[in-house]
Copies of this chain bind each other. A is one copy, B any other.
Amino acid sequence: MSEHLAVKAALKAQRIETPSWAYGNSGTRFKTFAQDGVPRNPFEKVDDAAQVHAFTGVAPSLALHIPWDQVDDYAALADHAAQQGLRIGAINPNVFQDDDFRLGSVCHPDPVVRKKATAHLLECVDIMDETGSDVLSLWFADGLNYPGQDSLAARQERLSEGLRTAYDRLGGRQRMLLEYKLFEPAFYATDVPDWGTSFAHCVDLGERARVLVDTGHHAPGTNIEFIVAFLLGRGRLGGFHFNSRFYADDDLMAGAADPFQLFRIMHEVVRAGGLDASADVAFMLDQCHNIEPKIPALIRSVLNVQEATAKALLVDADALAQAQRDGDVLAANAVLMDAYNTDVRPLLAELREEAGLDPDPIGAYRRSGHAEKIAAARRGGRPAGWDS
């Protein structure tokens, strides 16, 4: 297979998951600006996710957030997805919006609250069973606002216990991804603040536990691709939550803030074979669209990840390795930059046409009239949002 064909094959095999919550209303602590045509239930979110997949061809799964996506019949939801060529992706438990969780969930000082939190994790594994999901994606809002508020050390022990209970419930191909986040909503300390914390817990738990890298959750100056390379080297990269960050967890469209960083991350993924299905790395978006229309913003994000991947696939690995061996700093950097500076949009347009898709997904979506259709159809009822 020629190199060109290999690049295309890899791009065709890529899968990028969209999150159900990105289709609903979201905002900052200051204001949620409502949009027209927002889904009113998980079934309508599936419908919107199907649009993203229809126009990009590489987004065939949808992550759920429980209880935001609570339904009576999860099998029916999975069926609804399947009928549109989608499957249910990661299940994301929410243990931060109940009044009991004011001071934490699995790390809470009160064992009653911890038990409630853990029960919700187990409920989410049940939902995995019912929907066919094989990823339990854990993020905890647990943390402290003030020094002394609680014992940092005791909270780690409680965290270990909660994770263990959920982990032991997993079966078959199911795995657990543990996300870390530097700050927010806790401001002084978060209980899983960095990849090291997540990594240590995953190693404790076993082979099914892996680190989830959210590209918006790091301190300034952090080299994310280093983390990615390190985790891939030890078989502990569970997946990504792609989004963009200028300052904090800005949750903007993936690739919008620093496309070069996204390329460098994908370069490490490609180099280590992380695109192969056997690597079990989940490529997921996690972002919200507060001021821009949601479906085209998700399409744009998928395209941005795809373009970064294409550029990473174009890196001349042999030339790079040679320059690195030679200690030729400028040549090695130039090999990488040559790939980055390439305009891959024609290649991706070609790829889409071969797959029977419109070469311009954003334009095609706009022309499809879907936005107008849902704006008209989805009147009445309560729009989905972060709080519902």
Contact = CB atoms under 8 A, between A and B. Distances in A.
A296 interface: yes
Given A149-B333, A229-B152, A362-B334, A102 B258 contact: no
Given A152-B229, A220-B221, A258 B256 contact: no
Contacts of A246: 183, 187-188, 221, 223
B199 A200 contact: yes
Interface in A164-207: 182-185, 187-189, 193-197, 199-200, 203
Contact of A291 (B102, B151, B336, B345): B102
A289 to B, nearest CB: 9
A30 B185 contact: yes
A31 B99 CA distance: 9
Contacts of A387: 31
Contacts of A248: 183-184, 187, 247-248
Nearest to A288: B29
Given A28-B29, A97-B31, A220-B220, A197 B230 contact: yes
Contact of A103 (B233, B291, B335): B291
A85 interface: no
Interface stretch (A6-14, A122-130, A277-285, A323-331): A323-331
A226 B189 contact: yes
A34 B233 CA distance: 35
A147 interface: yes
A337 B152 CA distance: 17
A94 to B, nearest CB: 9
Interface string A323-362: 1110101101111110011110100000000000000001
A208 B337 CA distance: 39
A254 interface: no
A384 to B, nearest CB: 16
Interface stretch (A48-56, A73-81, A264-272, A372-380): A264-272
Given A196-B199, A290-B145, A330 B34 contact: no
Given A33-B102, A234-B200, A332 B149 contact: yes
A82 interface: no
Given A148-B332, A221-B247, 12 more contacts: A30-B386, A31-B97, A145-B252, A151-B321, A184-B247, A196-B200, A196-B227, A219-B222, A223-B246, A248-B248, A259-B340, A342-B343
Q: Top 4 closest A-B pairs, CB basis?
A: A196-B196, A148-B336, A220-B220, A219-B219
